[in-house]
Amino acid sequence: MNGHKGPNQTIVVSPKSVVLRQSTDFLAVTTSHVLKVLEYMRTHFSSGITVEELARQVPISRSVLYRLFIEEVGHSMVEETKLRIGEISKQSGFNGNISFSRAFQSATGESPSEYRAKYSPICHDSTILPRGES
């Protein structure tokens, strides 16, 4: 740095962890309409969302959106994940269940298991509702 030539060896430093940013924390989808619906679902996940509400977010019909969503994501908009909380934590980029649970509770006011029990999506007249409501 003071005019001296540096060593001729390459030093590799492995990353400690990978931090997902909101701008890159989405599935790789090719359809902008599906991406817009996924973003809406992400920001409104704590309230009951209807398929019709999701369809209003994009300028295509509900049936076309439903088909595109299944093609792009691999399941319908109302399908519930059967993954264990630990697996969801890992796939979300958290180092452990505790940090995931704290972040989840901070965002929703409920633990992941409380949330799952209360808001387990069910299909009722094309509506995603908290369990026990109709």
What is the domain count for the chain?
1
Give pLDDT tens digits for 4-59: 777 788 888 887 877 766 555 556 788 999 999 988 887 886 677 888 899 999 99
pTM: 0.50
Residue span of the structural domain in which 92 resides = 29-128
Structure tokens at 92: 């979300």
Is residue 12, in this structure, part of any structural domain at all?
no
- pLDDT of res. 46: 65
Backbone angles phi and psi of 74, in degrees to 5: 100, 0
Is residue 40, in this structure, part of any structural domain at all?
yes
Report the distance separating Cα 55 and Cα 66, nearest Å.
Answer: 8
Is residue 81, in this structure, part of any structural domain at all?
yes
Residues in a beta bridge with 107: none
Q: What angle do CA 127, 60, 122 make, to 5 degrees?
A: 15
- pLDDT of res. 20: 61
- Residue 99 is part of a domain; what is its CATH number? 1.10.10
Is residue 5, in this structure, part of any structural domain at all?
no
Q: Is the dihedral of CA 56, 60, 61, 67 positive or negative?
A: negative
Give pLDDT tens digits for 59-98: 999 999 999 999 988 888 877 667 788 888 887 778 888 9
Is residue 62, in this structure, part of any structural domain at all?
yes
Look over the chain and give the mean of its residue pLDDT values, rounded to a whole number: 78
